């Protein structure tokens, strides 16, 4: 059954707490180049492209605890819809990656 509700939108602090306290994985859906320029500490990069759902299915079970993120929220929202349609259970969506503990270069 496809989830037709809207995603749980969370703040950077909430995303960090879910990673630290609840075992969520932060999936950054930006391009590899954007990801290399700075990203939340502990995040993984799975770009939102034609292979996104297949890549997520290969890496995570459908009930994985996932926070999706990008720069402004548009891609993470599209990723959420794609994962929900594929049967993933309630991923969260966060857009403010720059405010989370970071690895890589600082965002300008």
Any domain includes 104: no
Q: What is the pLDDT of residues 2-52, one digit of tens each?
A: 445 777 788 888 888 999 999 999 999 999 999 999 888 889 999 999 999
What is the number of domains present in the chain?
1
Any domain includes 73: yes
Q: What is the pLDDT of residue 107?
A: 40
Q: Which domain holds residue 77?
A: 20-93
CB 5, CB 85: distance < 8 Å:
no
Closest listed residue to residue 98, CA positions, set 32, 24, 17, 11: 11
In this prediction, what percent of the chain has a pLDDT beyond 90? 50
3-state secondary structure of 28: strand
How many Å apart are CA 100 and CA 14, to the nearest integer?
Answer: 10
Any domain includes 103: no
| 74-90 average pLDDT score | 89
| 75-100 average pLDDT score | 76
| Tokens representing residue 47 in the block | 């770009």
Band the pLDDT of 105: cuts 50, 70, 90.
very low
What does the chain come to in residues? Answer: 108
CATH code of the domain covering residue 82: 3.40.250.10
Q: What is the pLDDT of residue 95?
A: 57
Any domain includes 65: yes
């Amino acid at each position: 059954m496809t989830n037709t509700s809207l995603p749980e939108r969370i703040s950077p602090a909430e995303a960090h707490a879910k990673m630290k306290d609840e075992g969520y994985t932060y999936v950054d859906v930006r391009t590899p180049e954007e990801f290399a320029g700075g990203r939340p500490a502990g995040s993984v990069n799975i770009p939102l492209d034609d292979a996104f759902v297949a890549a997520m299915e290969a890496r995570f079970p459908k009930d994985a605890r996932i926070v999706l993120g990008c720069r402004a929220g548009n891609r993470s929202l599209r990723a959420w819809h794609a994962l929900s349609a594929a049967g993933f259970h309630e991923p969260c969506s966060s857009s403010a990656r720059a405010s989370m503990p970071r690895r890589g270069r600082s965002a300008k």
